[in-house]
A and B are shown apart, each in its own frame.
Chain A
Amino acid sequence: MYSFEPTEEQQMLVEAVGKYAGNDLRTAARDAEEGGELSKKLISKGWEIGLLQASIPEAYGGFGERSAVTGVLAVEEMAFGDLAGTLAVMTPSLFATPVLLAGSEEQKQTLLPKVIEGDWSPYTAALIEYAFDFDPLSLKTTATLKGEEYVLNGEKAFVPFANDAEAILVYANLDGQTQGFIVEKGAAGLTIGDEREKLMSLNALPLYRLKLDNVKIPAANRLGGASGHDFEPILAALRLATAATAVGVANAAFEYSLNYAKEREAFGVKIAQKQAIAFMLAEMRTEIEASRLLTWEAAWKLDTGKEDAFTDAYLAATGAADMAIMVTDRAVQILGGHGYIREHPVEMWMRNGRGFATFTGLAIV
């Protein structure tokens, strides 16, 4: 059957996330962007909603089951509040969700409770590399098996909270396959950049470069154990998070510009009464809906194990990236000069909007 209705449980969760997104993230967003910092208190409050905790079974310290559909519903709603804040709150998922999806039984039992029990703590992952043609399926960072150890070499970029991370899930190229390796804090040969990444947006999120210079990892720290893991399900979950956050940010920009257009007067009418503006808004709403449904379907396919789920997650993320820049650009355009001024949030969302073509690796559902 087709159905487009979230379950009651999902609706309650989304409602809780929505409150946090609106009351906390959105109100803090501008100062966080300008000041380059999100308060620990703000992140903890988001953590306490328990999105990650609810996606991990009781056996590993959580209280639920993972569902990509629930994940995309929740992160869309959170990103509607603020993208940087969302990525910060969800950073531990970058470590825990791949362990849940692809870890060995032993890894799940030892690692997951550490991440999810107690307060938010900086567990993170390193996927992105600093290259124009970065390809998660063909990484330049390498892993080589030497005796009982893997040796990692290369550089990683855009790693959230790497500076004080307890452990980092580093993705590297092992004989042509992308594999995850758990790198503990202070590993020899691991250098974390002195300075944070300076990007066009996400100033509030502490992102770092990593250097891996012959970092030696016990063989047991390979994600999935000795035989490793499939990377596709992880990549699909990363892409779905990109898509869902893109929809959330676009929806924020759409709603803000719509409200502005209903207030702002020109030539004696509200500018929303001009077809030039009204049609832009109609197209923005239409494209948001298109991306949202494509994301939902891909998430549902992932949850139900459909064979084209991975391709569909790729399509959803690719489509959402295009949609997000179109919608956020128009939101700025609708506000005109005011859109360009940092008193309004639309310029920040437009800077976010361009990033979704690059952000896969910063969030996971």
Chain B
Amino acid sequence: MPIEFEAPKPIVQTQFVLKTVAVEMMRAHSRYFDEHEHESPWDYIEFMHTAMKATGVGSLAPKEKPSPPSPLPEGEGGGDEKKEKRPPIAYQALAAQIEMLAWGDVGMYLVTPGGGLGAAAVQAAGTPEQKAKFLARFGGEKPTLAAMGMTEAGAGSDTASIRMRAVLDENTREWILNGEKIFVTAGDKALTEYEQLGRGFIVVWASIDPAAGRAGMRAFVVEAGTPGVRVTKLEHKMGIRASDTAAISLVDARVPYDNILGSPTVEKTTTGFKGAMATFDATRPLVAASGLGVARAALEFLKEKLAENGVQIRYGLPRQKLTSIERDVIEMDIMLRSAWLMVIKAVWMADNKKPNALESSMSKVKAGDVGTKITQKVVEILGPLGYSREFLAEKWFRDAKITDIYEGTGQINRLVVARQILGYSGKELR
């Protein structure tokens, strides 16, 4: 297909529907949940669950079709897909949905039922049996959440330094997990048994062989209700307060043998670790999309306020004739649109099974920059209106910053991009 930028019809339709959700169910309650941290937006959660069950819209766990990018060309191992078919757009649709929900409220988006990063990890690294077992619940009676636990107090970006241990009990054929995870997004709703929620799980990264370093890293599905697993703390944050961020302790937590994602034996290779990184190739542009949703909210709000006050943006004039505000707004338009196109390209590659490690990380670098810069600038230009909690601009400023931090900080993603363009290993470019 030639170069084209027409948003596919199903995506446009979904965005149309989700915009109403974003306005009615999210924006209208943004301020309340910002000021009542650790309360849960149950109405939104239940609404989304019902809507997603009915339509499939907004489901954050990609359906069976799209899998993370594989270097295999189309057709090899692809089965009997000879027939003329529409190009796959599942990841593109997901990115567009996330952008719109984040435009509504990124904190609330983060507690959207459907599995989030936990389900994405199972989707990316699980066997067909594991997918069947762990992903079916998201279509169940009650809304259900899953989460991913990677970060520890002593290991953030340096994921290979995690201390969480998993030891196999040969007698019971169970894995015994010990350690503590922090900054687990939606960790509380994934693990704590709320009557409103179905039984969730958290994907916990642990080492099965610390001497092997990265090669020994594996992910385990730890289900809610597992003895020894406890939410020990809910963080108080600068923004995204509608979303719980949990610390989780695992003390002799026993997990069935089959809950390991990937091979249970340690080879000399770093396949296990690379599995985790492949997950990030799929999820980074989605996180980038969420940051851009916040940025768009802020920029649109600024434009509304300027228009109300009779300030026009005269597109097309040379810079020398523009006011400072016009220059800023035009620059923000450029940043936002080009960042969005980078997200779309990265997920388009994922949909088409093209390796996208470079594009995925570039989109995250860009969105991290753009999200923070736009929201900061909007607050600046709006002056007292921007800084006041009467409007949401200041909240978006606080919310947007996380985009440049989670799912790989801007710096870690620069490192990934640099290694890709230089052809360097982690050893060659530390």
Contact B421 A293 (CB under 8 A): no
CB of A78 closer than 8 Å to a CB of B:
no
A357 to B419, CA, bound (A): 32
- Interface size class on chain A is 35 or more
Contact B6 A2 (CB under 8 A): yes
- Residues of the A chain whose Cβ atoms lie less than 8 Å from the Cβ of B320: 132-133
A264 to B57, CA, bound (A): 52
Please give the number of chain B residues whose Cβ is less than 8 angstroms from any Cβ of chain A in the complex.
Answer: 48
- Residues of the A chain whose Cβ atoms lie less than 8 Å from the Cβ of B365: 282-283, 286
- Residues of the A chain whose Cβ atoms lie less than 8 Å from the Cβ of B2: 3, 5-7, 10, 69
Interface-side segment among A89-97, A103-111, A154-162, A308-316? A308-316
- Residues of the B chain whose Cβ atoms lie less than 8 Å from the Cβ of A27: none
Partner of B318 from A1, A4, A135, A289 at Cβ < 8 Å:
A135
A314 to B337, CA, bound (A): 13
Contact B417 A69 (CB under 8 A): no
Interface residues in A291-344 (C-beta closer than 8 Å to B): 291, 293-294, 296-297, 300-301, 304, 310-312, 314-316, 318-319, 322
Complex: chain A residue closest to B1, CB-CB: A3
Contact B429 A135 (CB under 8 A): no
Binary per-residue interface labels of chain B (309-339) against chain A in the complex, 1 for a CB within 8 Å, 0 otherwise: 0000001111111000000001101110111
A275 to B422, CA, bound (A): 12
A3 to B88, CA, bound (A): 11
Binary per-residue interface labels of chain B (3-21) against chain A in the complex, 1 for a CB within 8 Å, 0 otherwise: 1111110000000000000
CB of A185 closer than 8 Å to a CB of B:
no
CB of A272 closer than 8 Å to a CB of B:
yes
A310 to B424, CA, bound (A): 41
- Residues of the B chain whose Cβ atoms lie less than 8 Å from the Cβ of A312: 337
Contact B316 A4 (CB under 8 A): no
- Residues of the A chain whose Cβ atoms lie less than 8 Å from the Cβ of B117: none
CB of A23 closer than 8 Å to a CB of B:
no
Once A10-B2, A297-B5 are accepted as A-B contacts, the answer to whether A137 and B429 lie under 8 Å apart by CB is no
A134 to B317, CA, bound (A): 10
CB of A30 closer than 8 Å to a CB of B:
no
Contact A278 B5 (CB under 8 A): no
Complex: chain A residue closest to B358, CB-CB: A285
Shortest Cβ distance from A327 into chain B, in angstroms? 13
A293 to B320, CA, bound (A): 26
CB of A262 closer than 8 Å to a CB of B:
yes
- Residues of the A chain whose Cβ atoms lie less than 8 Å from the Cβ of B421: 258, 281-282, 285
Shortest Cβ distance from B428 into chain A, in angstroms? 6
Which label, helix, strand, loop or mixed, suits the secondary structure of the A interface? helix
Interface residues in B389-430 (C-beta closer than 8 Å to A): 411, 414-415, 417-419, 421-422, 424, 428-430
Partner of A294 from B319, B338, B422 at Cβ < 8 Å:
B338
Chain A to chain B contacts (Cβ below 8 Å), 22 pairs:
A1-B89, A4-B348, A7-B3, A10-B2, A135-B321, A137-B317, A272-B422, A278-B419, A279-B418, A282-B417, A282-B421, A286-B362, A286-B417, A290-B339, A290-B342, A294-B341, A304-B6, A310-B316, A311-B315, A314-B316, A315-B315, A318-B319
**8 smallest A-B Cβ distances: which pairs?**
A290-B338, A278-B418, A293-B341, A319-B334, A282-B417, A3-B1, A133-B320, A282-B418
Q: Point out residues on B near A: beta carbons under 8 Å.
A: 1-8, 87, 89, 92, 315-321, 330-331, 333-335, 337-339, 341-342, 344-345, 348-349, 359, 362, 365-366, 411, 414-415, 417-419, 421-422, 424, 428-430
Q: Point out residues on A near B: beta carbons under 8 Å.
A: 1-7, 10, 69, 132-135, 137, 258, 261-262, 272-273, 275, 278-279, 281-283, 285-286, 289-291, 293-294, 296-297, 300-301, 304, 310-312, 314-316, 318-319, 322, 357
- Given contact pairs A282-B362, A315-B315, enumerate 7 new A-B contacts (beta carbons under 8 Å): A1-B6, A3-B1, A6-B2, A273-B429, A278-B415, A283-B365, A294-B338
